[in-house]
Structures are given as structure tokens and as C-alpha cells.
Amino acid sequence: MLLRFTKMHGLGNDFAVIDLVTQHAHISADQVRRLADRNFGIGFDQMLIVEPPQNPDVDFRYRIFNADGSEVEQCGNGARCFARFVYDKKLTPKNRIRVETSSGDIELQITSNKDVSVNMGVPVLEPARIPFEAPSPAPTYALDVDGQPLTIGAVSMGNPHAVMLVEDVDSAQVLELGPRVEHHPQFPQRCNVGFLQVVSRKEIRLRVFERGVGETLACGTGACAALVAGRLRGLLDEEVTAQLRGGTLKLQWKGDNHPVIMTGPATRVYEGQIRI
């Protein structure tokens, strides 16, 4: 069968978005891996699936599959693309959309200039819920990586993140340390790894090695986790501009029991069909 898809990106973090509200298909992990191949498939960091909601109080169900075929809980750049997709495809007339994910419901709002603002929820800092093996919550943790001592922040934004401070993201050991921290035994479900440079209290630079993908041009949940980790260390104000390799996000976190708000663009690249 032929299945319609839309190629989109959020600051260069790219996706194949598939509507399974008006179409019907089952896509296996092996099919995701083959379609994600940039030489023999569509090529993408994640596949986003739009489904009817299981909860009648929300508008859609949102599922995310990494390029390696694994299903993950959350993706901030993908959430923005999801909102633009369902609005542009007229699957909903709303510009404020409630979406069900495997890590909880999120709220998406399309702004007047067609950017998307996402309520990413309250960050999770309790180690057992991240999940991260540590006795109690703390602003930072010591992590031994093959004999190399590192200091990280550990945060869940619906998916687990390790965030470490670096002096300069351009020279950070992203490709060397990223996979080693991702698979560290203290993160039993692996993690996304953020390399955070604090430019000022209102500006950060960030690179992220994403779980199951590798380094991407932008990571929305990674940017949110970096803001939280930086504020817990007392380094950042509640509103911050995040400079990622693919572009800029605006972030806000007021602190305890408040959600992180992320605002940024979502761009359609092309439409296509694939045979499943």
C-alpha cells in the first residue's frame, strides 16, 4: 500500500510525519529503520505518528520513533512540527491543541507568526522517575565515565537527559562522550546528552547527542533540560534564548512546579508517498 507522509524539520531536526487518522497502517521498527536511512530511504531523525486519541479530552495521540526504530516518550522539535502538521492538513481547526503522549499530555499553541509554543510540562528531577540511579535529587551529580569524572545535571522532560557544562560547544567532545554517557549504567533507559555553554544569564549555546539517533542539529527537550539544569545551578534567568546548530529557541521556566514553555519554528519540506 502507498502511505502519504510529510517531511518536516524543527531547526534542522528532521522528521517524517505520518497521518494515521485518515490513513491506516502498521509500521514496524524494522520499517522505521529502513525508511530513516539517508541513502536508501527518506532519511530522518525521527518518525512522528498522528493517531486518534485514546483519551476523549485531548485532540490527538502523538507517537515518536527514533531512527533506530525505538519508540520514545517525547520530542520537543517534533511536537512543534506535529502541531503545524495537523493544523495545515486541516485535521483540526484549533490553534491550541491538546496532545496525548506516552509520557503525559502536552499543550501546543500556534502563534500569530506561525511559530509553535509548547507547554512541555513540569520537569522531573526525582532520580527514580527520570530514571537515573542516585540516592536523592541534587542540582548536580558525579558520573564516572570509563574512569573520566564528569559532573552532570539529570532531568526528565518526558525523556531522560544528562546535561554537562562546557566552556565552548564548538570544541566539546560530543561524539566521544555522547554515546558513552547515553549508555551509562546509571541511566537504565539510556539518555540524551546535552553539552551546555552559558553565554549569559539570558543566552545559552547547546549541542545534543540524542538517544538512539546521535547528534542532531537541534533538540527541543534537550534545550528545556539545559535551561532547567542551568537554573538549578543558579546560572540562568527564567527566560532564555537557546542557540542550537539548527537555529534558535525561546525557553521559559519559572521554577518548582512550573512547566517549561518552549517556542520556535516548524517547517514543511515536501510531501511524498512510501510503499509499506
- Catalytically annotated residues: 75, 219
How many Å apart are CA 149 and CA 88, to the nearest integer?
A: 48
How many Å apart are CA 52 and CA 144, to the nearest integer?
A: 44
How many Å apart are CA 134 and CA 198, to the nearest integer?
A: 26
Longest dimension (CA), the chain: 54
Contacts of 45 (CB under 8 A, 6+ apart): 13, 14, 15, 36, 66, 67, 210, 213, 216
Sign of the four-CA dihedral 184, 188, 189, 195? negative
Q: Give me the count of residues in the chain.
A: 276
Kindly state the helix (H) or strand (E) to which residue 31 belongs, with its residue range: helix 29-36
Kindly state the helix (H) or strand (E) to which residue 229 belongs, with its residue range: helix 220-232
Here the cell at position 116 is: 509553535
Is 227 within 8 Å of 260 (Cβ atoms)? Answer: yes
Contacts of 161 (CB under 8 A, 6+ apart): 154, 155, 191, 192, 193, 194, 221, 222, 225, 226, 229
Q: Tell me the sheet residues that pair with 7.
A: 16, 270
Residue tagged 481547526 (cell numbers): 93
